[in-house]
Structure 1
């Protein structure tokens, strides 16, 4: 997992070039007028999705992980709570959609850490890193507009 801000990529000199280029592309292409949907950078190898979603309680959220793609989540507006766990995700899979959707939902781990992403913050999850996005911050639901970039692990 890597956490940073899209306006300060220079503070992360170890950020792989392919991931930095994907973030730079999003910075150039996405603005307040960008319609929600899927956009290609390099076919199915690198693409991103723009969405607007309500945050939810931690109890409503589900832990997930991916196997084929690196997941770069960039907050455009709102505050997004993100719960993570460093424990292995394979202990108890609740719903396996890895073959058709590159996502699996797992039983909530016994240990978790929560952090808050502000506008222009990003987090990068490598395959098999467990995370629960879109968690409420400060006890109230809000609209979160974000971009999720998918980068194939090939």
Structure 2
């Protein structure tokens, strides 16, 4: 998991994998165009962005999720968002088993979950071993989520 801010990006980018750099640069370019909500293609199904605006959920109403085929880059545009994070534990039992077509499994929050507080301009990168619980808070959130296929990091 990576937690950072666009204000730190220019100094941090040299330490990141080239695919993460490409995703963040695409995010910056796309957001300058003030796009409408929905899916925006970056590199076909290998890398794409979803722009969304929604009411955050209370913590007791949100399940955690995990992906196997995609890395998530969550970027907060407006509002404040709490995202729970925990590393995958051996023997972790899912509430909803992994769905390979939708690329996710759902989990109850972990006892060792760490709560991340995102403010506008901050982003978090979640890898396949990261169980994360996004979209929590008290108000409306506007955010972008970039999906990066794991195969891009190994090629």
CA displacement at 1:87 relative to structure 2: 4.5
Alignment-derived partner of residue 122 in structure 1: 123
Q: How does 1:14-53 map to 2 (within 5 A)?
A: 14-31=15-32, 33-53=34-54
Alignment-derived partner of residue 144 in structure 2: 147
Q: How does 1:131-142 map to 2 (within 5 A)?
A: 131-136=132-137, 141-142=138-139
Aligned partners of 1:134 and 1:58: how far apart in 2? Answer: 9
CA displacement at 1:107 relative to structure 2: 2.4
Show CA shifts across 1:84-117 (max 9, x none).
Answer: 1135175111112431111110122122111211
Aligned partners of 1:7 and 1:74: how far apart in 2? Answer: 13
Q: Structure 1: 5+ residue runs without aligned partners?
A: none
TM-score (normalizing by structure 2)? 0.90
Q: How does 1:55-74 map to 2 (within 5 A)?
A: 55-74=56-75
Displacement over 4 Å in runs of 4+ = none
Aligned partners of 1:121 and 1:132: how far apart in 2? Answer: 16
Aligned partners of 1:128 and 1:114: how far apart in 2? Answer: 17
Q: Which has the higher helix share?
A: 2
Aligned partners of 2:113 and 2:24: how far apart in 1? Answer: 27
**Contact 1:47 1:150 (8 Å CA) reproduced:** yes
Aligned partners of 2:91 and 2:58: how far apart in 1? Answer: 24
CA displacement at 1:33 relative to structure 2: 3.5
TM-score (normalizing by structure 1)? 0.90
**Contact 2:109 2:133 (8 Å CA) reproduced:** no
CA displacement at 1:6 relative to structure 2: 2.2
Q: Structure 2: 5+ residue runs without aligned partners?
A: none
**Contact 2:41 2:49 (8 Å CA) reproduced:** yes
**Contact 2:80 2:119 (8 Å CA) reproduced:** yes
Pairs aligned (count): 150
